[in-house]
Every structure is written in structure tokens, then in C-alpha cells.
Amino acid sequence: MNNEITGGSGGPFRWYDLFSRGARDWLRHSEKVREAVRERLPEIISNAEVLGGGHRTVRVPMKLLEHYRFRLRPPESHTAAGQGGASPGDVLRAPQNHASGQDKGQGITEPGGVQFVLELAIDDIVDWLWEELELPNLQARVGGMTDEEYRREGWNRRGARSRLDRRRSMKEAVKRRHAQGESAPPFSDDDLRFRQLVRRATPTTQAVVFFAMDVSGSMSEGDRQLAKTFFFWVVQGLRRQYQYLETVFVAHTVDAWEFEEQEFFQVSGTGGTVASSAFEKVLDVVDTRYDPERYNVYVFYASDGENSPEDRETAAAALGRIGAVASFMGYVEISSGARRGGETETAALFRDLASSGDAGSYVLTASEEVWDAIRAFFTNRSQQDSHPSSP
């Protein structure tokens, strides 16, 4: 059994050339790190670096795992033996100014001291996230959202050559010969059968998601970052869920504009807040491009909630009209400062809407809560879907 150990002196390869035990165990360590990362996902997705645009990976700084052993508490100061030309009282190294942070510099010898960067594919993260949510597929809205397409159905004696069903045609020939007896021709044009196409309406799984964001002066850079991080992960998640997901990005101050995805995550603005401008923009886009009969419409709106009071009625009316066409509306109130979340102008608008069922809101105060916010919105949805209310 141990021949492989004593190793022939012959051939060019020895047993130890065949694989690296260290590399094998290092790979296992990396696997464990990934498992650990999965448990820390909420923390990771709040990492704003993902918004850089175009990247399909997230870089996460990680510590090497430590295999724990019993160890004594580190002493205040430690004594040890040294060697060389030094006599009692000599100071070999002067006290350092930044004493507490000093250990980090020489971390290489101390397990757990080295940080390395783990690169995770965004697709993997989204897979893990949605696995955790265990969302059923969001369903098509009850009622006639349909899509027409051609399907194969039945056979015809005429048709295009490309749809000839050879097997079926042979069966017809066998039947006919059997009926006609010995003298029957082996094959005739009457035997031919062609597959038939018909137009059929099928429920659609198309969806359009509007991401509307308040970029007015009152939203600080941090607020915007928070909103964008939230949107980023919602986009990733919904893309996973829908075969054909269309996204529309809208940013507003007193006016509203539509943006490309890349630009949207970079956008910033100044000025006052008129929420209705964004809602009108959304309605406008729905009217021109997305027939609510054929699309599930989702709207997410992020703002600090400080809408101008004069806009109250206009905004309420616009929201009402959106509510009529949208499957769901989510409002994320960004409340990173000292403001009291959930008691603002905009929050009040959505509260009215929420009573009708298809809206929800969440107060987001820090990046760690992004995942909680997503969970709040989407588990709500799935619960609604699992108890279909009669139309």
C-alpha cells in the first residue's frame, strides 16, 4: 500500500508531483470562506462598491479563517529572551505613537491578520439571496394580461413543406393501404399530414419596473447612495424573476427625467422636491410604452419624503392613477439623518394607498438595512400571492 510513499526512484513523476496537498486544503478554505460570505450577505449587499457600473462582480474584503485553539489571553506586556549586544535598560524600540493600531503592520505572521479580497459574481449573490427569500414566481396579474403567439395544434392535409409530419403521414398511409387491400399504391398525396399552427393567447410574464428617485437638494450624497444600493439589488433580483424584465429609471427634483440605467446610478441634482413630477413621468411612460394589459407594472420610489406641501393633491391624484395600473408600489423612505422616518408628506401619501393593498413602504436609515427592506417588500408580495384574493 505504501509503495507510493517510498516512491520509485525511476519515472519522471513522483507521487508528490501529482497534486499539491497545500493547494487542496487552501481550496477547501476558500470554499468555507464563501460559505461564511453567504451568511453575511445582507452586510455585503450594502457595500456600495457594486454601483461602479458594468461590473458583474463584487469585491469583498475577508479575513483568513482561523482554526481556533485554546490560547492564553494576550498579556499586557510580554517578556522573552533575545540575543546580541544589549544591556539592561537599553531601549531596543521606542514607544510608538499610535500604540493600539500598531499590531496591524506585522499581521503577516499572525493568523487572522491578513485580509484578502474575495470576488463574488453578482449573479451568485442574487441566486443566494432569492434562494433565501424562497419567493414563488411573481404571478401575472389576475385579469386579462395576455400575449398572443403561434402554437402547434393538430394536423392539416395542406401546409408548408417544413411542417410536414413524416411519422403521422406514414401512419395515414398504413391505414389507407390496410383499408384498400393489396392493390393499393404505397403512398399518395392524401396521406400527407402537416402540423397546424394556431394563434393562442397566453398569460404574459412580462414586467416593467419603474425606479423613481428623488435627487433633490435635500437628499444628501449618503441618502442617494442608500437609495441606489437598494435599487441596484431590487433590479438584480427582479431580473432573476422575470424572463423579460424592462426597467425604467426616473429621477426627479421639481422636474422629472428618464435615465439609462448606468446614468441613473451616477445621477445627482439640486433644487426642490415635487414628487408628482416623477409620478406623472411614470404614467407618461406607461401610457406610451407599456400597456398595463400586457405588463406587470411595478413602481419603486425612493425619497427623503420632504415633498412640498403644495404638491400634495397633485401627487395624491397621480399616485392614485398609478395604483390603478400597477401591480405593486413600494416607497422607500431614506431617513439617514435626524428626521423622523415615516411621518413625512410622501409617507402620508403612500399610507393612504397602502390601505388598498398594492403598496408598501419601508424606512431605510442605514446601508445594513437594505436587505431587510428588500425582504420586507418581497415577502409581502409573496404572501399576497399565496392567498389570491378573488377579483
Partner 1 sequence: MSELELYEGKLEALARERGLDYFPVNFELVPGSFMMEVAIYGLPVRMPHWSFGVRYFYQLVQHRMGHSRLFEVVFPGNPGRAYLSKNNSPQENTLIVAHVLGHADFSKNNELFRRSQEEVGYNIVEKAAEHARRISDAAAIHGDNRVEAVLDAALSLEAHVDVFAGLRREPYPEFLDDRNSRSDNPFQARYQSLEEPRETEGTRRRRRAPRPPRPEKDLLWFVANHAPELDDWERDIFLTVREESFYFYPVFATQIMNEGWASYWHARLLREADFLPQGTYLDAIKTHSDVVRPYAGSDQVALSINPYHLGFSVWEKIIEQRGLDKAREIMREDDDFAFVRNYLDEGLARELKLFRYEAKPNGEIRVINTDIDELRESILASKFNFGVPCVSVRHMRADGTLELEHEHRTDGRGLDIERARKVLEYLYRLWRRPIVLDTVNAEGKSQQITVG
Contacting positions for partner 1 (CB under 8 A): 1-2, 4-7, 14, 16-17, 20-30, 32, 64-96, 99, 102, 108-109, 111, 114
Q: How far, in Å, CA of 193 to CA of 165, rounded?
A: 6
Q: Is 21 or 387 the residue whose CB approaches partner 1 more closely?
A: 21
DSSP letters, 34-64, are HHHHHHTHHHHHT-GGGGGSS--EEEEEEEP
Q: Is 99 or 338 the residue whose CB approaches partner 1 more closely?
A: 99
181 Cβ contact partners less than 8 Å away, ≥ 6 residues apart: none
CB of 71 to partner 1, least distance (A): 5
Burial 230-241 (b: 16+ CB within 10 A, else e): bbbbbbbbbeeb
Q: Is 78 or 199 the residue whose CB approaches partner 1 more closely?
A: 78
19 Cβ contact partners less than 8 Å away, ≥ 6 residues apart: none
Amino acid at 176: R
Q: Which three cell numbers stand for residue 82?
A: 533575545
Choose among 51, 338, 44: nearest CA to 220: 338
Contacts of range 350-356, beta carbons closer than 8 Å, 24 or more positions apart: 350/319, 352/316, 353/319, 353/320, 353/323, 353/329, 356/323
Q: Is 27 or 184 the residue whose CB approaches partner 1 more closely?
A: 27
Q: Which residues pair with 279 in a beta bridge?
A: none
Amino acid at 233: W
Q: Which residues pair with 251 in a beta bridge?
A: 213, 257
CB of 4 to partner 1, least distance (A): 8
CB of 105 to partner 1, least distance (A): 10
Burial 356-390 (b: 16+ CB within 10 A, else e): eebbbbbbbeebebbbebbbbbbeebeebeeeeee
Q: Is 19 or 150 the residue whose CB approaches partner 1 more closely?
A: 19
Burial 42-54 (b: 16+ CB within 10 A, else e): bebbbeeebeeee
Q: Is 18 or 160 the residue whose CB approaches partner 1 more closely?
A: 18
Q: Is 101 or 309 the residue whose CB approaches partner 1 more closely?
A: 101
Q: Which residues pair with 63 in a beta bridge?
A: 115
CB of 96 to partner 1, least distance (A): 3
Residue pair 37/118 in contact by the 8 Å Cβ criterion = yes
CB of 335 to partner 1, least distance (A): 35
Contacts of range 382-389, beta carbons closer than 8 Å, 24 or more positions apart: 382/133, 382/134, 382/135, 382/136, 382/138, 384/357, 385/136, 385/138, 385/139, 386/136, 388/139, 388/142
Q: Is 4 or 260 the residue whose CB approaches partner 1 more closely?
A: 4
CB of 48 to partner 1, least distance (A): 29
Q: Is 78 or 166 the residue whose CB approaches partner 1 more closely?
A: 78
CB of 11 to partner 1, least distance (A): 14
CB of 378 to partner 1, least distance (A): 31
Q: Is 84 or 309 the residue whose CB approaches partner 1 more closely?
A: 84
CB of 134 to partner 1, least distance (A): 23
CB of 35 to partner 1, least distance (A): 10
